[in-house]
Amino acid sequence: MDRFVSNVTLRLDSKGRVSIPATFRSVLRRDGFDGLYCYPALDRPAIDAGGNALMAEIEALIGRFTPFSDERERFALALYGTSETLKIDGEGRVQLSDSLKRHAGIADRVAFVGLGHKFQIWEPGRFQSELAEATQKVRALKAQLGSQVAARNALGARE
């Protein structure tokens, strides 16, 4: 598999390190990056993390804007300017910086959450709240889309 999927909650050790789930490390190895790119998520109290695929997405996003434009500079500042490259030790652990932990509200446990091309690192309680809200919104959207499909089918049957 070349995607980050599922979620796992783990404890930080006494030195503040945490093991990256083995399945996530496997995706990073296949991605060809020997470390972990991390930055504070722009719109959530979480840390965005990944390898070359995440960096390629950031570069593509920034590349959409005209060189030297204010928008391009803002995105570069917000993404590159706050990014950190963490070293993964021989046992698959990383040490999150204080600024990353502060942004996500992490104290002693973290939730690793797969999002396909990247994953996020959350404080577990915040993740559970975010997951409940996302699930509720997705269910409402599914119901709305189902109603639209039913309405189109009904119109098509009349014609």
Q: Tens of pLDDT along 77-102?
A: 999 999 999 999 999 999 999 999 99
| DSSP run (H or E) holding 157 | helix 124-158
Domain ranges of the chain: 7-123
pTM of the shown model = 0.88
Contact (Cβ atoms closer than 8 angstroms) between residue 49 and residue 121: yes
Query: What's the chain's length in residues?
Result: 159
Report pLDDT for 61: 94
Type of residue found at 74: R
Asked whether residue 10 carries a pLDDT value surpassing 80, the answer given is yes
Q: Map residue 36 onto helix, strand or coil.
A: strand
CATH number corresponding to 7-123: 3.40.1550.20
Provide DSSP, 39-51: EE-SSSSSEEEES
DSSP string, 82-125: T-EEEPP-TTSEEE--HHHHHHHT-SSEEEEEE-BS-EEEE-HH
Phi, psi of 59 (to 5 degrees): -60, -40
Q: Is the pLDDT of residue 147 over 80?
A: no
